[in-house]
Protein backbone atom coordinates (compact mmCIF):
# COMPACT_ATOMS: atom_id res chain seq x y z
CA UNK A 1 0.00 0.00 0.00
CA UNK A 2 2.86 2.35 0.82
CA UNK A 3 4.55 1.69 -2.52
CA UNK A 4 1.33 2.52 -4.38
CA UNK A 5 0.99 5.83 -2.55
CA UNK A 6 4.65 6.65 -3.21
CA UNK A 7 4.17 5.83 -6.91
CA UNK A 8 1.12 8.10 -7.16
CA UNK A 9 2.99 10.97 -5.46
CA UNK A 10 6.02 10.51 -7.77
CA UNK A 11 3.76 10.48 -10.87
CA UNK A 12 2.03 13.64 -9.66
CA UNK A 13 5.36 15.40 -9.17
CA UNK A 14 6.52 14.37 -12.67
CA UNK A 15 3.26 15.64 -14.23
CA UNK A 16 3.59 18.92 -12.29
CA UNK A 17 7.19 19.44 -13.44
CA UNK A 18 6.28 18.63 -17.07
CA UNK A 19 3.39 21.10 -16.95
CA UNK A 20 5.64 23.82 -15.55
CA UNK A 21 8.23 23.24 -18.28
CA UNK A 22 5.54 23.56 -20.96
CA UNK A 23 4.15 26.80 -19.51
CA UNK A 24 7.49 28.39 -18.61
CA UNK A 25 8.32 29.89 -22.06
CA UNK A 26 4.95 31.66 -22.27
CA UNK A 27 5.41 33.14 -18.80
CA UNK A 28 9.03 34.26 -19.19
CA UNK A 29 8.77 35.57 -22.78
CA UNK A 30 5.42 37.31 -23.25
CA UNK A 31 6.20 38.24 -26.87
CA UNK A 32 6.29 34.56 -27.84
CA UNK A 33 2.86 33.70 -26.40
CA UNK A 34 -0.13 33.33 -28.70
CA UNK A 35 -2.17 35.56 -26.37
CA UNK A 36 0.05 38.53 -27.13
CA UNK A 37 0.52 37.80 -30.82
CA UNK A 38 -3.11 38.66 -31.51
CA UNK A 39 -2.39 42.39 -31.03
CA UNK A 40 0.20 42.76 -33.79
CA UNK A 41 -0.01 45.68 -36.19
CA UNK A 42 1.17 43.61 -39.14
CA UNK A 43 2.85 40.35 -40.04
CA UNK A 44 6.14 41.73 -41.22
CA UNK A 45 7.42 45.12 -42.28
CA UNK A 46 10.53 47.17 -42.90
CA UNK A 47 11.58 50.49 -41.33
CA UNK A 48 14.44 52.88 -42.01
CA UNK A 49 15.30 55.06 -39.05
CA UNK A 50 18.00 56.58 -36.85
CA UNK A 51 19.26 54.87 -33.70
CA UNK A 52 18.79 57.00 -30.56
CA UNK A 53 21.39 55.26 -28.39
CA UNK A 54 23.95 52.48 -28.28
CA UNK A 55 22.58 48.95 -28.21
CA UNK A 56 22.63 46.98 -24.97
CA UNK A 57 23.51 43.30 -25.22
CA UNK A 58 22.48 41.02 -22.38
CA UNK A 59 22.44 37.31 -21.69
CA UNK A 60 19.01 35.78 -21.08
CA UNK A 61 18.81 32.34 -19.43
CA UNK A 62 16.96 29.90 -21.66
CA UNK A 63 16.98 26.65 -19.66
CA UNK A 64 18.65 24.83 -16.79
CA UNK A 65 19.82 21.25 -16.54
CA UNK A 66 20.81 19.96 -13.16
CA UNK A 67 20.94 16.95 -10.86
CA UNK A 68 20.03 17.45 -7.21
CA UNK A 69 22.46 15.56 -4.99
CA UNK A 70 22.81 17.28 -1.60
CA UNK A 71 23.49 20.40 -3.70
CA UNK A 72 22.44 20.86 -7.31
CA UNK A 73 25.04 20.16 -9.98
CA UNK A 74 24.25 21.53 -13.40
CA UNK A 75 24.39 24.50 -15.68
CA UNK A 76 22.35 27.36 -17.03
CA UNK A 77 22.25 27.72 -20.80
CA UNK A 78 21.50 31.14 -22.20
CA UNK A 79 20.98 33.23 -25.32
CA UNK A 80 22.11 36.74 -26.18
CA UNK A 81 19.64 39.53 -26.93
CA UNK A 82 20.17 43.13 -27.99
CA UNK A 83 17.92 46.08 -27.29
CA UNK A 84 18.00 49.67 -28.55
CA UNK A 85 15.62 52.47 -29.46
CA UNK A 86 14.95 54.23 -32.75
CA UNK A 87 13.18 57.41 -33.80
CA UNK A 88 10.01 56.48 -35.67
CA UNK A 89 6.82 58.45 -36.41
CA UNK A 90 7.54 61.43 -34.12
CA UNK A 91 8.36 59.17 -31.18
CA UNK A 92 10.61 56.42 -29.97
CA UNK A 93 10.23 52.73 -30.66
CA UNK A 94 12.02 49.95 -28.81
CA UNK A 95 13.80 47.32 -30.93
CA UNK A 96 14.51 43.82 -29.59
CA UNK A 97 16.84 41.56 -31.57
CA UNK A 98 17.33 37.91 -30.54
CA UNK A 99 21.11 37.67 -30.93
CA UNK A 100 24.12 39.97 -30.97
CA UNK A 101 23.47 43.30 -32.68
CA UNK A 102 25.90 46.17 -32.22
CA UNK A 103 24.63 49.61 -33.24
CA UNK A 104 25.66 53.08 -32.10
CA UNK A 105 23.90 56.36 -31.59
CA UNK A 106 22.99 58.23 -34.82
CA UNK A 107 23.51 55.15 -37.03
CA UNK A 108 21.09 54.87 -39.95
CA UNK A 109 19.30 51.51 -39.70
CA UNK A 110 17.05 49.40 -41.88
CA UNK A 111 15.00 47.05 -39.67
CA UNK A 112 12.58 44.28 -40.62
CA UNK A 113 10.54 42.28 -38.16
CA UNK A 114 7.23 42.22 -36.32
CA UNK A 115 5.54 45.16 -34.65
CA UNK A 116 3.83 44.95 -31.24
CA UNK A 117 1.96 47.41 -29.04
CA UNK A 118 3.83 48.08 -25.79
CA UNK A 119 0.86 48.82 -23.54
CA UNK A 120 0.27 45.16 -22.62
CA UNK A 121 3.88 44.89 -21.44
CA UNK A 122 3.82 48.17 -19.53
CA UNK A 123 5.97 50.00 -22.06
CA UNK A 124 4.96 53.37 -23.40
CA UNK A 125 5.24 53.20 -27.18
CA UNK A 126 5.66 50.30 -29.55
CA UNK A 127 8.08 47.38 -29.83
CA UNK A 128 9.73 45.83 -32.87
CA UNK A 129 11.01 42.27 -32.60
CA UNK A 130 13.59 42.40 -35.38
CA UNK A 131 14.49 39.53 -37.66
CA UNK A 132 17.02 41.59 -39.60
CA UNK A 133 18.92 44.78 -38.76
CA UNK A 134 21.10 46.44 -41.38
CA UNK A 135 23.38 49.25 -40.29
CA UNK A 136 23.40 51.53 -43.34
CA UNK A 137 26.14 53.71 -41.82
CA UNK A 138 28.69 50.92 -41.52
CA UNK A 139 27.28 48.31 -43.93
CA UNK A 140 27.03 45.57 -41.28
CA UNK A 141 23.96 43.31 -41.38
CA UNK A 142 22.58 41.20 -38.51
CA UNK A 143 20.07 38.51 -39.49
CA UNK A 144 18.39 35.64 -37.64
CA UNK A 145 18.34 32.56 -39.80
- Domain boundaries in the chain? 48-143
pLDDT band (50, 70, 90) for residue 25: low
Which helix or strand (DSSP H or E) is residue 62 part of? strand 56-69
How far, in Å, are 22, 52, 57, 59, 88 from residue 81 at the CA level? 22, 18, 6, 6, 21
**Residue 100 and residue 118 in contact, taking contact as beta carbons nearer than 8 Å:** no
On the CB side of 138, CA atoms within 13 Å amount to 14
CA-CA distance, 88 to 74, in Å (whole number)? 44
Please tell me the total number of residues recorded for the chain in this structure.
145
3-state secondary structure of 14: helix
Q: Which range, of 46-50, 58-62, 85-89, 121-125, averages the lowest pLDDT?
A: 121-125
Q: At the topology level of CATH, where does 48-143 sit?
A: OB fold (Dihydrolipoamide Acetyltransferase, E2P) (2.40.50)
Mean pLDDT, the chain, integer: 80
Amino acid sequence: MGQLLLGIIAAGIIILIAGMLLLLPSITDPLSSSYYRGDEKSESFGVESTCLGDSRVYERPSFFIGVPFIITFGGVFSKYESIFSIAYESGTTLVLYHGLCFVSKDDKLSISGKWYRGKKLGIQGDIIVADRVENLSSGIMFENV
